[in-house]
Amino acid sequence: MVRAVDPPGSTLPPHVLRQLAGGGDWIGSWWTVVVALALVVLVVLWAVRRRRADRWSWPLWAVAGLGAAFTVGIATNVVVGYVPDVTAARVALSSWGVVSPPAPLEHGTAEATSGGPRSGRVEAVHVPAPSADRMPEASLTWIYTPPGYTTTGSTRYPVVYLVHGSPGTGGDWFAAGNVPHAMDVLLENRLVEPMIVVGLDVNGTGPGAEDTECLDSTTGGSQVETYLSETVIPWVDARYRTLDDWEHRAIGGFSSGGFCALDQGLRHPELYGTILALDTTGDPGTGGQAMLATQAQWDQHDVTTYAASVPLPHPVALFADIAGANHGQNRKDLTSIAADLRARGQDVVVRVEPGMDHTWSFARQAIPYGLVFASAHLSGKS
């Protein structure tokens, strides 16, 4: 498709980028690292002076050691981007089962106005799975509903399903990805229409449990594809005010979750009309080898092989984003798949995030563009 203007999802205004970058706090800030490092240096100098004076100095060395560990931990988190703020830490801990899920959270920092809240609502829910799917019993699905959403209203909303990487949990997009903040900012700036966003947990049981690739296992593990298509989507549609057709449903993901989005989106056009694939390969990899018993089964899920020929009964829109520092298989596969779909007349946008590595910092930077792209297609404004 040829456009005379920038397609949705290709650019964002500078003031919006500044707002998006403001979603973190001390736990994800280099300033915390600088201050902590300075304090560690001061404690070390104090300990050295006390030691020279033959004074009891080991408690200071212990404090310095703990401070150094804290500094390294915060610095690592800033680089990887897994926990951008305290709210994200709470979401992550509850996703891991360390603490109980929080009560519904009101995200965003804007104050309520006479027109109603300007921030969406997040809740963690358990979607029960049939025993035949062999899914974990304790998994949580995270759901964002936009400002103004009510269970009794008449308005219905498009849905974006997001899949975590491996290892990961259903809360990753709501913690590391900071999707609630991104949605609030994009809605405030009228860059997206109100949408429901669902953070899926695609971990399973048995072989390949932590890297299911959203597949139905033939080696004794979970039936993840069946769980998503036959349990989760109907469950969400029955309990939330959704627009329950492929034209108003998107699936996206990062890393192995990006493969899930590609494979599920292209093989289930009856469910999804838009795909968001962030820095992923086009095949099921080693996770697929654990989930599938034969090479022939694995080959059936190799998107790089079937993208040029898979039946497309209706248009499918693809947003692909690549970490700029990645010059390996992810870039090659996404570029190839994008070219195959574009050659078939599909609407495709490919972005590269300059200098970014394959981390949640990249995914958090990329997902707002993907949400804008998805909204344009789910609302019919593309």
Task: Delimit the domains of the chain by residue range.
Answer: 31-76, 84-378
Instruction: Convert the pLDDT of each residue in 124-148 to its tens digit.
Output: 999 999 999 999 988 899 999 999 9
| 50-64, 74-88, 323-337: the lowest-pLDDT one | 74-88
Cα–Cα nearest to 90, from 100, 75, 80: 100
Tokens of 130: 């049939």
Report whether 68 contacts 39 (CB < 8 A): no
Identify the CATH number of the domain defined by range 84-378. Answer: 3.40.50.1820
Residue 103 binned pLDDT confidence (cut-offs 50, 70, 90): low
Taking residues 312-330, what's their average pLDDT?
Answer: 93
Other beta carbons less than 10 A from residue 255's beta carbon: 24
3-state class of 105 per DSSP? Answer: strand
Residue 76 binned pLDDT confidence (cut-offs 50, 70, 90): confident
Instruction: Convert the pLDDT of each residue in 267-285 to its tens digit.
Output: 999 999 999 999 999 999 9
| 57-66, 80-89, 166-175, 273-282: the lowest-pLDDT one | 80-89
Report whether 276 contacts 197 (CB < 8 A): no
Checking if the pLDDT of 110 tops 60, the result is no
Q: What is the pLDDT of residue 113?
A: 31
Question: Residue 180 to residues 1, 25, 37: CA-CA distances in angstroms?
Answer: 31, 15, 31
Other beta carbons less than 10 A from residue 213's beta carbon: 30
